[in-house]
Structure 1
Amino acid sequence: MIYAILLMDKPGTADLRIQIRPEHRAYLAQISDRMAFAGPLTSEDGKTTLGSLIAIDFPSRADVDAWLKDEPYTKAGVYEKPIIHVFNNMWEQKAGFPPAS
C-alpha cells in the first residue's frame, strides 16, 4: 500500500536540515525501490525548503511509523508532526517529468 507522507519543517531548522541531508538521503536510498516519489516542498522561490513529500509502499501504517521514527530528519527534530494517508495512484506517470537534480 502506498502511503503519502507530508512532513513540514519546524521553524528555524534550515541549517539542521542541510547538516543532516546526507544521512536523510542514505536512509531513503535503502528503500528507493519502494518509492513512488520523494522530494522537498519549497516556497515560490524554489529554493527555500519548507518540508518534504514522500510516497512509499509499506505493508502497513505500523511499518510507516516505525520507518519514520528512525528517519534522520525526524530524529534530529527537523520535522513537525507528520501527516500520513494511504495514496491511491489513479493517474499514470507522465514522461518528461524527470527528477530534479
Structure 2
Amino acid sequence: MPLFIVTCTDKEGTLATRLATRPAHLARIEKLDAEGKLIVAGPMPKEHDNLQAGFYGSTLIVDFETREALDAWLSDEPYLKAGVYGHIDVKPFIQVFPKG
C-alpha cells in the first residue's frame, strides 16, 4: 500500500477556471475513491468561510502501486490541464495514525 501525499498549488487569478472545471475534477476524484485509492482529498481555501477569496490549492493522500502510476493519473487532472494548478508536489507518505 504505497501512499503519496499530493500538494497542488493554484496559480493566482484562476478561481473562475477552478469553479468551471470543478465538476470534471470531482468526477475523477469520485472514481478514485470508488477504486479504493483515495485516503483523503480536499481544497485549501484562502479564507475558510469565504470561498470567493480563492484557494491556495488542493491536498490529496492517495494509494497507488507506483509513483509512475500516480504521475500518469495526475497528467490527466482537469485542474492541471485547465491551468489552475501551477505546481504539483508529490512525496511518499506512511500512515501511522489512525491505526487500522
Superposition TM-score, scaled by structure 2 size? 0.87
Instruction: Figure out how many residues of one structure are paired with residues of the other and give that number.
Output: 92
Indicate the residue corresponding to 1:34 in structure 2.
37
Give the secondary-structure state (helix, strand or coil) at the position aligned to 1:89. coil
Give the secondary-structure state (helix, strand or coil) at the position aligned to 1:30. helix
Identity value in percent: 34
Alpha-carbon RMSD across the aligned residues, in angstroms, is 1.1
Q: Deviations over 1:2-29 (max 9, x none)?
A: 1100001001100000000000000111
Superposition TM-score, scaled by structure 1 size? 0.86
Richer in strand (by share): 2
Indicate the residue corresponding to 2:26 in structure 1.
25
Indicate the residue corresponding to 1:71 in structure 2.
77
Indicate the residue corresponding to 1:8 in structure 2.
9
Q: Deviations over 1:13-55 (max 9, x none)?
A: 0000000000000011111021110000122x21332100001
Q: Distance in 2 between matches of 1:6 and 1:31?
A: 16
Q: Runs in 1 of length 4+ with deviation above 3 angstroms? A: none
Give the secondary-structure state (helix, strand or coil) at the position aligned to 1:21. helix
Q: Does residue 88 in structure 1 map to residue 91 in structure 2?
A: no
- Unpaired runs of 5+ residues, structure 2, are none
